[in-house]
Amino acid sequence: MSHRFGPAGRLGVCLLALLMFLSIGDPASARSPGADRTADRHVADARKRTLAACRERGIELPPDFIAWIDGDPTLKASVYGCRADPLPVLLGLRSLEIDLGRSVVREEHTQLAVAFAIAGSYASSDREASGWNDGDTGRPGGDLPDVTPRPALVLECPGDPRIPVDTADPGRDLDVHDHVINFLEDHPPIEVEIEVRELPPLEYDDRGIAKPRGKPVKVRRTVERGLVGADVIASAALQAEFNAYLAANGHPEVVLECGDRVVHRASTAPVRDKALRASIKAAHDLFHDAYRAKGRMPRERDASPTPSESMAWFIRNHRHDFSGTDRVWPRFPIDAPWPVLMMLAADDQPLREREDIWIKYRDDGEFRTYGEYIGGIAQQFDMQSARRVAPFPFSYGSIQMMWKDGGVCGTMGNIGARTHRICGVPASTAGQPGHCAIVFMEQDPTTGRFRCRGGQYATGGDEVTTVHAGWNYD
What type of residue is 193?
A: E
Give CA–CA dist 194/223, Å, rounded: 7
Q: Which of 230, 378, 369 is nearest to 291 (CA)?
A: 230
What type of residue is 367?
A: F
Give CA–CA dist 134/122, Å, rounded: 13
Q: CA angle at residue 326 from 322 to 404, to 5 degrees?
A: 90
Give CA–CA dist 443/332, Å, rounded: 7
Give CA–CA dist 89/76, Å, rounded: 11
For residue 230, give the 3-state DSSP assignment: helix
Whether the ω angle into residue 62 lies within 30 degrees of 0, i.e. cis, is no
Whether the Cβ atoms of residue 137 and residue 348 lie closer than 8 Å to each other: yes
Total residue count of the chain as it appears in this document: 474
Give CA–CA dist 304/351, Å, rounded: 7
Task: State the DSSP string of 168-199.
Answer: T-TTS---HHHHHHHHHHHSPPEEEEEEEEEP
Give CA–CA dist 291/304, Å, rounded: 23
Q: What is the pLDDT along the chain (474 residues), one digit of tens a residue?
A: 333 333 444 444 344 444 444 444 444 445 567 678 899 999 999 999 999 999 999 999 999 999 999 999 999 999 999 999 999 999 999 999 999 999 999 999 999 999 999 999 998 777 888 877 776 666 777 889 999 999 999 999 999 999 999 999 999 999 999 999 999 999 999 999 888 888 888 888 888 888 888 888 888 889 999 999 999 999 999 999 999 999 999 999 999 999 999 999 999 999 999 999 999 999 999 999 999 999 999 999 999 999 999 999 999 999 999 999 999 999 999 999 999 999 999 999 999 999 999 999 999 999 999 999 999 999 999 999 999 999 999 999 999 999 999 999 999 999 999 999 999 999 999 999 999 999 999 999 999 999 999 999 999 999 999 999 987 667
Give CA–CA dist 216/112, Å, rounded: 41
Give CA–CA dist 115/85, Å, rounded: 16
Rg (CA), the chain: 27
Whether the Cβ atoms of residue 95 and residue 307 lie closer than 8 Å to each other: yes
Quick one: pLDDT at residue 9?
A: 40
Q: Is 271 left (phi over 0), alpha (psi -120 to 50) or beta?
A: beta
What type of residue is 317?
A: N
Phi, psi of 75 (to 5 degrees): -65, -40
For residue 81, count other CB atoms closer than 10 A to its CB.
22
Q: Which of 73, 82, 36, 24 is nearest to 337 (CA)?
A: 24
Quick one: pLDDT at residue 210?
A: 86
Give CA–CA dist 426/442, Å, rounded: 8
Give CA–CA dist 31/372, Å, rounded: 49
The HSE-up count of residue 136 (CA atoms within 13 Å, CB side) is: 13
Whether the Cβ atoms of residue 251 and residue 243 lie closer than 8 Å to each other: no
Whether the Cβ atoms of residue 419 and residue 357 lie closer than 8 Å to each other: yes
Quick one: pLDDT at residue 397?
A: 95
Give CA–CA dist 360/365, Å, rounded: 6
Give CA–CA dist 395/81, Å, rounded: 39
Give CA–CA dist 394/401, Å, rounded: 7
Asked whether the CA dihedral 471, 414, 397, 269 is positive or negative, the reply is positive
Q: Which of 292, 314, 440, 458 is nearest to 373 (CA)?
A: 458
Task: State the DSSP string of 259-314.
Answer: -SSSS-TT--SPP--HHHHHHHHHHHHHHHHHHHHTTSS-SSPPPPPPHHHHHHHH
Quick one: pLDDT at residue 473?
A: 65
What type of residue is 399?
A: I
Q: Which of 222, 225, 229 is nearest to 264 (CA)?
A: 229
Whether the Cβ atoms of residue 100 and residue 308 lie closer than 8 Å to each other: yes
Whether the Cβ atoms of residue 417 and residue 429 lie closer than 8 Å to each other: yes
* Strand pairing class (450-455; 190-198): unpaired
For residue 169, give the 3-state DSSP assignment: coil
Phi, psi of 45 (to 5 degrees): -65, -45
Distances (CA, A) of 104 to 93, 107, 316, 347, 418: 11, 6, 12, 20, 25
- Dmax over CA atoms of the chain, in Å, equals 88
